[in-house]
């Protein structure tokens, strides 16, 4: 049955509506019901058949209805007219018999006239009703009061109607924009078009107790606004990586954005120090504002505006060497003295979350410490973790094993090493689309790769002297094992 043939669906008059006309959503229907005693309601609603056929909660109508024509001791239990109408007479008779046993009376069935207006329909039905048959809306992101869409080509003509429906149905929304193109590879921004609401682009979001302030109006051209990137679907991705940090960690983020890894690393995990970089100066400006907003003391986070490769090749090695020298001095370690080098321990973490390009930056870590060989002894008793988030694109109904194998290939070819003993964890993060998966490779960087001089390809990587910390070494062989055909993007 087409969704347009259903009783509990807006009328055909709104089909393919290009300009929202709320008056056309009016529809009169007959809703089946059974009259039940108030004292038996809980027992009746527990029946499987009743749960299956009951009317789902609507914005202004619930399954349990106090009709003005009912006795005070009775309520009408409303059924979904589509499900109830599709039930066989045998199923209806079985339901009547079950109800008779519970209330000791013959149940009174009937139909109640009800006129649905625009305010009665939920968001999902309203949006689906204005689209062509067979075309789905997909999903949307909400960043504070701003909703941003990424509409497919077939949905694009209805963007203004959809935008106004979203404003009506989501009380917290005041601005709706639609993404015009994909994220750029330089500033990681997207061009968007205002499709509904007010042009108010300053907003604030909260993720895992951290507040982030954004201003989406910093660059404008024609009718579009250039957005600093924020994706609420990455909340779990942020948390899974941040949980790897502790108070003995030093964290580097090469593509930090507004700080969804860096701020919780300092605020929640109490890392020793954090260094954040992004090529987009607006992202760094708002990160700095969010640092103040969350009461993080000055000096706990150093920020940079430069290319990610430059940050990896220049800033990270200099800072790693600086921390290694501090450890060396603290324990008076030199070439002639004896010291328990096992007690020298820091966990360095380099985060790369630019999934379309991150893997291309892995070679930047080859020999990146070659100018600091004097700290190698200390470095080898620390850990240097790389958390590289990247995409794997499949074809057709590729299984999860194929995606994992291709993810390993990407890491191996990017680092130019055949032996992946240094790849301690390959974690499936999420499905971006039916044939596009996001992974995080957690790599324990061997010192001979970091300092150079030893050939890595085809050889077993030299690991640090301490065993890897448990939370980064754990293998994740689970994840969603469905084929691409079995997966779909849910409607939010």
Among 272, 234, 187, which Cα is nearest to 440's?
A: 234
* Residue 353 annotated as part of some ligand binding site: yes
Partners of residue 433 on adjacent β-strands: 436
Q: What's the rounded Cα separation, in Å, for the pair 12 and 4?
A: 7
Q: What's the rounded Cα separation, in Å, for the pair 387 and 2?
A: 46
The first and second tokens of residue 491, run together, are 């409607």
Q: What's the rounded Cα separation, in Å, for the pair 270 and 117?
A: 53
* Residue 181 annotated as part of some ligand binding site: no
Among 214, 211, 234, 238, which Cα is nearest to 226's?
A: 214
Q: Is the dihedral of CA 410, 255, 172, 128 positive or negative?
A: negative
* Residue 197 annotated as part of some ligand binding site: no
Strands 27-37 and 108-116: antiparallel
Contact 267, 207 (CB under 8 A): no
Q: In whole angstroms, how large is the CA radius of gyration of the chain?
A: 29
Chain centroid to CA 50: 35
* Residue 238 annotated as part of some ligand binding site: yes
Q: Which residues are annotated as a binding site?
A: 238, 278-279, 307-308, 353
Q: Which residues are annotated as a binding site for S-adenosyl-L-methionine?
A: 238, 278-279, 307-308, 353
């Amino acid at each position: 049955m087409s969704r347009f043939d259903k009783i509990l669906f807006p009328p055909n008059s709104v089909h393919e509506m290009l300009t929202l006309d709320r008056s056309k959503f009016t529809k009169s229907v007959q809703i089946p019901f059974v009259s039940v005693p108030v004292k038996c309601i809980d027992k009746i609603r527990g029946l499987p058949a009743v749960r299956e056929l009951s009317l789902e909660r609507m914005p202004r109508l619930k399954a349990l209805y106090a009709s003005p024509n009912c006795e005070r001791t009775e309520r009408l239990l409303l059924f979904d007219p589509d499900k109830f109408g599709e039930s066989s007479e045998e199923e209806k008779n079985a339901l009547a018999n079950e109800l008779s046993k519970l209330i000791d009376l013959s149940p009174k069935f009937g139909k109640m006239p009800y006129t649905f207006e625009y305010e009665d329909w939920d968001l999902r039905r309203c949006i689906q009703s204005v689209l062509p048959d067979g075309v789905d809306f997909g999903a949307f992101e909400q960043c504070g009061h701003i909703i941003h869409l990424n509409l497919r080509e077939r949905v694009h003509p209805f963007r203004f109607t959809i935008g106004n429906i979203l404003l009506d149905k989501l009380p917290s929304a005041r601005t709706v924009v639609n993404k015009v193109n994909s994220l750029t590879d330089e500033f990681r921004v997207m061009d968007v078009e205002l499709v509904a609401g007010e042009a108010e682009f300053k907003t604030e979001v909260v993720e895992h107790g951290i507040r982030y302030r954004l201003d989406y109006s910093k660059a404008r051209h024609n009718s579009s606004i250039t957005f600093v990137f924020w994706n609420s679907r990455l909340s779990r991705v942020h948390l899974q990586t941040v949980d790897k940090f502790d108070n003995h960690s030093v964290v580097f983020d090469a593509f930090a954005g507004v700080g969804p890894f860096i701020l919780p690393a300092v605020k929640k995990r109490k890392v020793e120090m954090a260094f954040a970089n992004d090529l987009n100066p607006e992202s760094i400006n708002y990160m700095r504002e969010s640092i103040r907003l969350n009461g993080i003391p000055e000096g706990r986070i150093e920020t940079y505006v430069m290319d990610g490769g430059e940050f990896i090749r220049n800033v990270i090695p200099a800072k790693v060497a600086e921390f290694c020298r501090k450890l060396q001095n603290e324990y008076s370690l030199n070439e002639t003295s004896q010291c328990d080098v096992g007690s020298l321990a820091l966990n360095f973490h380099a985060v790369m979350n630019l999934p379309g390009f991150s893997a291309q930056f892995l070679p930047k870590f080859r020999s990146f410490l070659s100018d600091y060989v004097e700290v190698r002894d200390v470095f080898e008793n620390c850990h240097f973790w790389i958390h590289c988030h990247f995409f794997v694109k499949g074809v057709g109904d590729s299984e999860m094993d194929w995606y994992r194998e291709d993810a390993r290939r990407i890491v191996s070819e990017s680092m130019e090493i055949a032996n992946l003993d240094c790849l301690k964890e390959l974690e499936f993060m999420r499905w971006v689309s039916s044939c596009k998966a996001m992974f995080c490779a957690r790599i324990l960087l061997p010192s001979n790769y970091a300092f150079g001089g030893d050939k890595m390809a085809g050889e077993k990587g030299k690991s640090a002297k301490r065993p890897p910390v448990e939370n980064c070494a754990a293998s994740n062989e689970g994840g969603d094992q469905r084929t691409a055909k079995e997966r779909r993007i849910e409607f939010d």
